[in-house]
Amino acid sequence: MDMGMEKVNKEKRRLLNRANVRGLIVVFSAASALAWDVDVIKICLSLSLLAIGSALHFIAKGTLIRNIVLCKDGVYKMVRHPYYLANYLIDSSFCLLSGNGYMLLLYPFLFFWAYGPSLRKEEKWLASTYGDEYIQYSVEIPQVFPDAHSVKNWRSFLRGFSKSRITTRALARLMRFWAVAFLLMLMHDLGKEGLGELIFWSHPLDHDGLVYLVISICLYFVSFLLVQRVRFRFELPESNPGG
């Protein structure tokens, strides 16, 4: 068996990995939102975490030049893996928005269980590819979470960023993150008011559940259209000049 295929199959065999940890968090957060209450402070904190994580996700994608150079500037001067830090903040925002404090406590363990093998694999490849340059970089810059020294590099946060590197898939993914947030708020509304509040408005102002539902559906729909546009562009057969 090809070594690359063997590694892919090994990744799929793991009970918890990067591919399924977010799905697991979303499912349990949605279930928790039906039973656990969340106050305005938690909602504001969770949406702030989601906004920071989304922005970091966007900036990291726009700074990374994959497999060509070792990125050490901008956000990569604060942590070596800002994309994973963004994922941590986004998933943590879902845990906090669920209202279930146990999920927020459990998630750090799930994160390192799921992302640990990927981090080791990527850093092994980077060290073998860039040698002493990466080793020196890894000594100076923390892995996922910034420390008191690296956070001082915030002034160069956007250095090396180019919006031309942002793909349509990345934008679609950001929209799905926010769609999940509004879906969780809908789950809270259903948990308090029941399905009847969504179908039969008991008060003219009780439209919040419907608003959350509409926003979530719209974000998912636009995300779907963006992904389909990418697929259509790549699957479109090339024209035959001689035909």
All domains in the chain, ordered by first residue:
1-161 (1.20.120.1630), 167-234 (no CATH)
pLDDT one-digit tens code per residue, 117-147: 999 999 999 999 999 999 999 999 999 999 9
Residue of 237 and 144 predicted with greater confidence? 144
3-state helix/strand/coil string of the chain: CCHHHHHHHHHHHCCCCHHHHHHHHHHHHHHHHHHCCCCHHHHHHHHHHHHHHHHHHHHHHHHCCCCCCCCCCHHHHCCCCHHHHHHHHHHHHHHHHCCCHHHHHHHHHHHHHHHHHHHHHHHHHHHHHHCHHHHHHHHHCCCCCCCCCHHHHHHHCCCCCCHHHCCHHHHHHHHHHHHHHHHHHHHHHHHHHCHHHHHCCCCCCCCHHHHHHHHHHHHHHHHHHHHHHHHHHHHCCCCCCCC
Nearest CA among 116, 107, 144 for reference residue 24: 107
Query: Does residue 91 surpass a pLDDT of 80?
Result: yes
pLDDT one-digit tens code per residue, 14-43: 778 888 999 999 999 999 999 999 999 999
Residue of 75 and 239 predicted with greater confidence? 75
CB burial string 26-53: b at 16+ within 10 A, e below: bebbbebbeebebeeebbebbbebbbeb
Nearest CA among 43, 38, 75 for reference residue 59: 75
Confidence band of 243 (pLDDT split at 50, 70, 90)? very low
Question: What is the rounded CA–CA span in Å between residue 48 and residue 29?
Answer: 17
**pLDDT value at position 171?**
92
User: Please, are residues 166 and 61 in contact by the beta-carbon 8 Å criterion?
Assistant: yes
Query: Does residue 1 surpass a pLDDT of 70?
Result: no
User: Please, are residues 77 and 156 in contact by the beta-carbon 8 Å criterion?
Assistant: yes
pLDDT one-digit tens code per residue, 175-234: 999 999 999 999 998 887 765 555 555 554 456 778 898 999 999 999 998 888 766 555
**pLDDT value at position 8?**
45
Average pLDDT, whole number, for the chain?
84
pLDDT one-digit tens code per residue, 148-187: 988 888 888 888 898 888 888 899 999 999 999 999 999 9
Provide mean pLDDT across the span 88-103: 96
**pLDDT value at position 10?**
54
**pLDDT value at position 112?**
92
Query: Does residue 240 surpass a pLDDT of 50?
Result: no
Query: Does residue 242 surpass a pLDDT of 70?
Result: no
